[in-house]
């Protein structure tokens, strides 16, 4: 991973944590994983 890629991922995780209440929005880890996959690929 380049530094730019790491920053990109950190920014995505920051936004995910602050704009979605993960524990409330996702009832299972599978749902969260699916969401993360979509989040990173699109």
pLDDT digit string (tens) for 4-34? Answer: 888 888 888 887 776 666 556 555 566 667 7
Question: How far is 33 from 36, CA to CA, in rounded Å?
Answer: 5
Output the pLDDT for position 41. Answer: 59
The domain ranges of the chain are 3-41
The H or E element spanning position 18 is: helix 3-19
| Cα–Cα distance measured from residue 3 to residue 24, given in angstroms and rounded to the nearest whole number | 32
Helix axes 3-19, 29-41, angle to 10 degrees: 130
Chain-centre distance for alpha carbon 21: 11
The overall pTM is greater than 0.95 = no
């Amino acid at each position: 991973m380049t530094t730019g890629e790491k920053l990109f991922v950190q920014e995505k995780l920051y936004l995910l944590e602050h704009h979605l209440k993960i524990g409330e929005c996702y009832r299972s880890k599978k749902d969260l994983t699916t969401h993360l996959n979509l989040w990173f690929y699109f």
